[in-house]
Amino acid sequence: MHLAVPTLVECGNCGNRIMPHRVCPKCGYYRGKQVLKPEEMA
Ligand SMILES: [Zn+2]
């Protein structure tokens, strides 16, 4: 028995590997929309 490895998806904006249904921490996009300001996360 082993733990399930979560499937990562590519951010549609920057191509960063991210968890599904999560905002991309790199560019702040989620499903094609910018929901965070990346300049504030740099
Ligand atoms: Zn991204």
Q: Write out pLDDT tens, residues 13-38.
A: 999 999 999 999 999 999 889 999 87
Residue 1 Cα to ligand 1 midpoint, Å, equals 33
Residue 40 Cα to ligand 1 midpoint, Å, equals 14
Q: Which residues pair with 29 in a beta bridge?
A: 34
**With a threshold of 0.75, does the pTM exceed it?**
no
Residue 6 Cα to ligand 1 midpoint, Å, equals 18
